[in-house]
Amino acid sequence: MSRIELLSPRLANQIAAGEVVERPASVIKELLENSLDAGATRVDIDVEQAGIKLLRVRDDGAGIVEADLSLALSRHATSKIRDLDDLERVATLGFRGEALASVSSVSRLTMISCATGADQAWQVETEGRDMAPRLQPAAHPQGTTVEVRDLFFNTPARRKFLRTEKTEFSHLEEVVKRLALSRFDVAFNLRHNGRPVFGLRPAHTEQEARRRVATVCGPAFVEQSVVIDNERDGLRLWGWVGLPTFSRSQADLQYFFVNGRMIRDKLVAHAVRQAYRDVLFNGRHPTFVLYLEVDPAVVDVNVHPTKHEVRFRDGRMVHDFLFSSLYRTLAEHRPGEQQPPTATDQAPLEGGLTPGGADAGVFSGQTYLSLAEPAPVWSPSSQHQMVERPTPAVLAGAVAGYSGLYGKALDSLSGTGAEPQQDIPPMGYALAQLHGVFILAENAAGLVVVDMHAAHERITYERLKLAMDQEGLRSQPLLVPESVAVSEREADCAEEHAGWFARLGFSLQRMGPESLAIREIPSLLRQADAIQLVRDVVADLMEYGTSDRIQAHLNELLGTMACHGAVRANRRLTLAEMNGLLRDMEQTERSGQCNHGRPTWTQMNMHELDKLFLRGR
């Protein structure tokens, strides 16, 4: 570590105001960041009364030399930056040199430190902002221990705003979890009122990292997440992305780190929301633990007092990278890839596992689920009626892939009753249809239950989107152009992105400094409020550099068409049709969720089925 020095007034004035110590969680954040910046490989945290009575952080980092101990408690004193160039390439969690000064001004603080290679440890004490630091020799191994006692003892007004001990400790614990997720190579141990809360060993392998994530976020998150690791143009995104079916009612399981710093950023949130747009149920929030690595020179961490927000030099590029990486990862995850493992700690079932229906050879001629002809459905009034169809021209491209047979699902079985030579596919083989709504299938793990309408709706929707991408969007000229009054900045933005609007079927023309004219709109959106849509899109472009509102409207229409085109409940399917649907699910992007974000299938493995009937007990 470099020596601690006072920043020059000019440099100090360039730094955003430091975070005010609001609660014990604010203190623990600053102390832990200092420990990590000092190169600690182990951090022990002791807390009493949620940190109000005592906060003790002990690390094995580089330590602080005797001459710098008292200076460390001064404002704008830091070893982490020296000049403006350093401020433009901040690579540490802390850099303002205000943490210890802010904490010591509202508590009784004791700091003991032994620097690397030093023969003697030293201790400094202070009480509140008016007391001069006291320095004396002490005994301590290499590293630093900071004790913060009686928080807000000299500012009772602030203490009144603290919540219950349980609430304050939950905030503090969350801060420790965030930092534990940011540094897998560091051990974290947390004790509250003498009771161990958790102990996290260093994680140096992928398996150990997964174990830490499971401890912090819960094992269900790791089981229901997809690993992502994508690199492009000097950007790298890696981590874990929760499946859409593992969503939350609140945004409480979302961890995003930029160069090891936990942030909550509007640009990032918008990119994530776009990536989950097609697969998330209304009112639900995605889950993720993600790490973005970029050159420190292209990200400004000095834009917010709490350091929770950052500014990217090229926000549009970062947004597109995040969106495309997440969108592709979710799209490429097929149902077969989230198959639960087959239980191996149980006795084999009598008779073993055989694909349902294989003995009768019913899979030798699987066919597609035809959309070419309207299929009758059974209405509540017991009357037959025709399914409402999308426009034939639109569906033509979408269902082109449905031509022909799917081929044989199993190799021919010998008369000896031998096992099939071909592997069982992930979604298995259909056994039956339940109440005209669900498909029951058998795979290697156990029982698969499929909502046939939801699954077919997603398949049709994805084919419609593909057809639209291939054929392009057709524009419809307006008989009378729509005039839109905007600000000059909004008009400039619309003019700058005119080509982008044109690719989506809009023709915009600038009529004056604060006026636009809409001359053409996409044919599919002829019923939409074009003026409001353009306003909203321009607002998004100004804030995020991109917008998905037009595409969202188009997808909403395609989703409606897919819903009408999907097989209806109570339509009886043949086994061949059911298996055709299962094979399509294995090949279709995002087929694990319907267009509204609901799951299309679920799995019960043999161990779970055994438990239902108390087998093996």
What are the structural domains, with CATH classification, of the chain? 5-200 (3.30.565.10), 207-333 (3.30.230.10), 340-617 (3.30.1540.20)
Most confident of 53-62, 282-291, 500-509, 532-541: 53-62
The tokens describing 530, both together, are: 């074009």
Over its C-alpha atoms, the chain yields an Rg (Å, rounded) of: 31
Is the pLDDT at 320 greater than 60, yes or no? Answer: yes
Q: Grade residue 471 by pLDDT with cuts at 50, 70 and 90.
A: confident
Between helices 575-587 and 452-471, what is the axis angle to 10°?
50
Average pLDDT over residues 478-506: 89
For 504-523, what is each residue's pLDDT tens digit? 788 999 999 999 999 998 88
pLDDT in tens, 559-570: 877 887 788 878
> Residue 425's pLDDT is what?
92
Residue 379 or 89, more confident:
89
How many Å apart are CA 196 and CA 467, to the nearest integer? Answer: 58
How is residue 117 annotated by DSSP?
T
Show Cβ contacts of residue 617 under 8 Å, excluding neighbours closer than 6 positions: none
Segment 445-458, tens digit of pLDDT = 999 999 999 999 99
For residue 260, what are the CA distances in angstroms to 200, 585, 589? 18, 38, 32
Is residue 332 exposed (0-12), middle (13-18) or buried (19+ Cβ within 10 Å)? exposed
Residue recorded with tokens 């901040």: 90
Read out DSSP for 184-249?
TTSEEEEEETTEEEEEE----SHHHHHHHHHHHH-HHHHHTEEEEEEEETTEEEEEEEE-TTS-BS
Question: What count of residues does the chain have?
Answer: 617
Helices (H), 48-190: 66-69, 84-87, 99-104, 156-159, 165-182
HSE toward the beta carbon, residue 393, CA cutoff 13 A: 2
Select the more confidently predicted residue: 399 or 540: 540
> E strands within 362-470?
376-378, 384-386, 429-434, 438-442, 446-451
Please check the confidence at residue 396 and state whether its pLDDT lies above 70. no
DSSP state of 3: P
**Among 13-22, 73-82, 158-167, 332-341, the least confident range:** 13-22
